[in-house]
Structure 1
């Protein structure tokens, strides 16, 4: 029977004491994102959960073959393979169990989503298979804003949510990370990122220095996407502003059905 009770069991731990008490058996976690490097947004929480014994698989819908990033690669398979290797490097740095690549085209997930053979329909089927076979206790994916509005991010959010909400039994907990309003770094390129009222982000997954070290190493893997100076600074910038010792999440669905009063 899956541990699908409250936030304390089904979601990321909310206190240091909870994190120090190991679960009876490792939780199975799927971190489902659109591109290699998306995991950076929750990196210290993934590292901490892995250190606590959770078995975490990173699932990436696209291989990021369109970039552009900061490399000399032209869009295409060579860039895709470079980014797949960067994702493997990042997963190792964070202590994750493995990485699954679905290899949809970067930037294609929103194309004619109602068409019978659209990327969205095929990805929905793939996600249903992966989730059904893995039977995870917890899934982490983008929230509805997609971080900064990227179409692929938003489609992955929508499709993962669609699959999970349709499950009759064994439904895993589903959580979305968010940026608490007022914590955006004071740099121009992040001012368009979405913010969330802090009261809507009640789940705090605390991390420590070892997890921040792992996050730095994971970010350092993504050499095609960030220049050397940025790779050296992102984790500490997020630590000082967005994270501040905890990655913040909210639950997609209530723990139990709630009556709607007229």
Structure 2
């Protein structure tokens, strides 16, 4: 989870921001993350894609049932169901649909991933089914760093990549990793250890409008158990001023 801490490239075409904005045919997009609130890391890009008429679904691997956030509720199923609702609220604010994989516990994705019946294999089975049903043109997810190194984030990145590499590349979706350009981390202690990426590698970007950023702020307001009022109101503006500056940055996986 984030917690307290593109130009669209579709169907094998590497488009520049100006080419992609408002000119691409409607496409199917999957945004794949580990927990409710992870979508905020690319929220205005999601809003921009939805506004441009693309069919966007956010796939949540878990319901965040173990994350502390700012709630006094105990960890467990009840908290997870509240966060399922928060994630659905956020997706709606961004113009996207929310989809949840089932039976995957928060914080478990890296547990013995090679074992039969492991959370990792369960994720892979469910995601491949969702992928084949959606036949997406574009998939967005964490990079191998997982943002700040969270094991679930790293595993989602690795497993989505594994699924993509099994699919015929002529028919497979474009897979992009979200990243923070080196030198653009917000000046807050909670993000001092977040991973950054050489800007030369971040060759894709999804530009967004003030309305998209406003939608992202509305989405952040949904995550009441994750962030206090000040963080929910200010985090998207902080990210915009420091690391986004009008566009969310990505790099191709392949």
CA displacement, residues 217-260 of structure 1 (integer Å, 9 cap, x when unaligned): 0011101000111101100000000101110000111xxxxxxx
Where structure 2 has 5 or more consecutive residues not aligned to the other structure, the ranges are: 1-9
Aligned CA RMSD, in angstroms, stands at 1.1
* Match of residue 4, structure 1, among 2, 8, 11: 11
**Partner of 2:212: helix, strand, or coil?**
helix
5 Å matches for 1:208-227?
208-227=209-228
Are residue 246 (structure 1) and residue 254 (structure 2) matched?
Answer: no
**Partner of 1:62: helix, strand, or coil?**
coil
| Distance across 2 between alignment mates of 1:220 and 1:191 | 24
**Partner of 1:126: helix, strand, or coil?**
helix
* 2:203 corresponds to: 202
**Runs of 4+ more than 3 Å apart:** none
Where structure 1 has 5 or more consecutive residues not aligned to the other structure, the ranges are: 9-13, 254-262
CA displacement, residues 155-210 of structure 1 (integer Å, 9 cap, x when unaligned): 00000000001112521100001000000011111001000000000112111100
Contact 2:65 2:106 in 1 (8 A): yes
Q: What's the CA shift for 1:17?
A: 5.2
| Distance across 1 between alignment mates of 2:109 and 2:230 | 31
Tell me the number of residue pairs that the alignment of Structure 1 and Structure 2 aligns: 243
5 Å matches for 1:66-77?
66-77=66-77
Contact 2:213 2:236 in 1 (8 A): yes
* 1:257 corresponds to: none
